[in-house]
């Protein structure tokens, strides 16, 4: 187990492979172990030095009290790179992780080589469709009624993460991803701190400042409205507003396209990072 001292925070991280550095940033409440379910090793095999880690509040990283924010998570990630003496890296964030990566690109542009925003968004993009700035009512009610474990299993195994036909086919991918989360699960307290951090995120007005080459990638079926709105619509917005952005759509997938079509998804990202599909 590798631990980095980032200020007062102890952060757990893992490194696989060799080559250009690729920092993988997880989504809401997801420990770094979820990347190590067939995703990080694929990137390593494609020629990258892959770093995955636990955000504060998750896995084997410290779990300090207080409010969390996506900007705070970004500062933690940059601190990890500094600890590892890495000046520049490709950064890839999935879901809330993409929000974290936006802050890395905005606050520390010299640290980012190429940026990948996967199934993500910038916060509120339409005042007629306001983002809930707190715990979404539907999610809060589901957690109370079902309990934490049942909520997580439904969240990952339901139609938000994977398409119904993929789940119905009986793939063990859903079980492996759920197990990786649950075996390294955060406390309810920390999970909800992550939810609030995601819901408070707002960078829509600053996307024009991101000047690194950027890949926006999303599943064609990732249109569930949820607490932050349709990721397809948000991805289109990101592509329009970020000057050097290109968009790729993974057909027939919802939010967890990396896990549903790992070969296709990692190939598209790898080609972009190598400058072959701008």
Residue 229's pLDDT is: 78
Residues 205-215, buried b or exposed e (16+ Cβ, 10 A)?
eebeebebbbb
Domain ranges of the chain: 2-273
CATH topology of domain 2-273: Rossmann fold (3.40.50)
Helices (H) and strands (E) in the chain, counts: 11, 8
List of residues 6+ apart from 179 with CB closer than 8 A: none
Would you call 5 helix, strand, or coil by DSSP? strand
Residue 158's pLDDT is: 85
Residue 100's pLDDT is: 98
Residue 277's pLDDT is: 60
Report the distance separating Cα 199 and Cα 19, nearest Å: 35
Residue 239: how many other CB atoms lie within 10 Å = 18
Sign of CA dihedral 232, 58, 266, 38: negative
List of residues 6+ apart from 109 with CB closer than 8 A: 210, 211, 212
Residue 85's pLDDT is: 98
Q: What ranges in 88-245 are assigned the alpha helix state H?
A: 96-107, 137-146, 148-157, 164-168, 173-183, 188-200, 231-241
Q: Which two three-digit tokens encode residue 249?
A: 């759509």
Residue 276's pLDDT is: 74
Would you call 217 helix, strand, or coil by DSSP? strand
Residue 14's pLDDT is: 98
Please report, in tens digits, the pLDDT of each residue of the chain (278 residues total): 799 999 999 999 999 999 999 999 999 999 999 999 999 999 999 999 999 999 999 999 999 999 999 999 999 999 999 999 999 999 999 999 999 999 999 999 999 999 999 999 999 998 888 888 999 988 899 999 999 999 999 999 988 999 999 998 878 999 999 999 999 999 999 999 999 999 999 999 999 999 999 999 999 999 877 777 789 999 999 999 999 999 999 999 999 999 999 999 999 999 999 987 65
With CA atoms as reference, report the closest residue to 207 among 95, 123, 273.
123
Would you call 125 helix, strand, or coil by DSSP? coil
Distances (CA, A) of 185 to 61, 141, 171, 207, 227: 12, 20, 22, 32, 21
**Radius of gyration, alpha carbons of the chain:** 17
């Amino acid at each position: 187990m590798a631990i980095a001292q980032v200020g007062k925070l102890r952060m757990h991280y893992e490194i696989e492979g060799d080559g250009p550095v690729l920092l993988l940033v997880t989504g809401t409440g997801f420990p770094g172990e979820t990347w190590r379910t067939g995703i990080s090793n694929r990137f390593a095999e494609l020629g990258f030095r892959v770093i995955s880690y636990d955000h504060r509040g998750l896995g084997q990283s410290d779990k300090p009290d207080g409010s969390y924010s996506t900007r705070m998570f970004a500062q933690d990630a940059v601190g990890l790179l500094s600890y590892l003496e890495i000046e520049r890296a490709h950064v890839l964030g999935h879901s809330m992780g993409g929000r974290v990566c936006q802050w890395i690109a905005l606050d520390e542009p010299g640290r980012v080589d190429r940026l990948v925003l996967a199934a993500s968004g910038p916060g509120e993009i339409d005042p007629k469709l306001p983002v809930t700035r707190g715990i979404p009512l539907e999610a809060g009610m589901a957690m109370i009624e079902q309990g934490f474990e049942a909520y997580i299993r439904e969240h990952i195994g339901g139609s938000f993460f994977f398409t119904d036909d993929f789940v119905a086919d009986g793939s063990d991918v859903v079980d492996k991803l759920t197990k990786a989360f649950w075996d390294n699960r955060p406390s309810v307290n920390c999970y909800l701190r992550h939810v609030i951090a995601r819901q408070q995120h707002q960078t829509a007005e600053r996307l024009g400042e991101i000047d690194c080459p950027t890949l926006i990638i999303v599943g064609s079926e990732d249109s569930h409205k949820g607490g932050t709105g349709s990721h397809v619509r948000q991805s289109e917005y990101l592509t329009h507003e970020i000057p050097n952005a290109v968009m790729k759509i993974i057909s027939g997938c919802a939010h967890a396209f990396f896990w549903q079509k790992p070969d296709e998804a990692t190939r598209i990202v790898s080609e972009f990072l190598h400058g072959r599909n701008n």
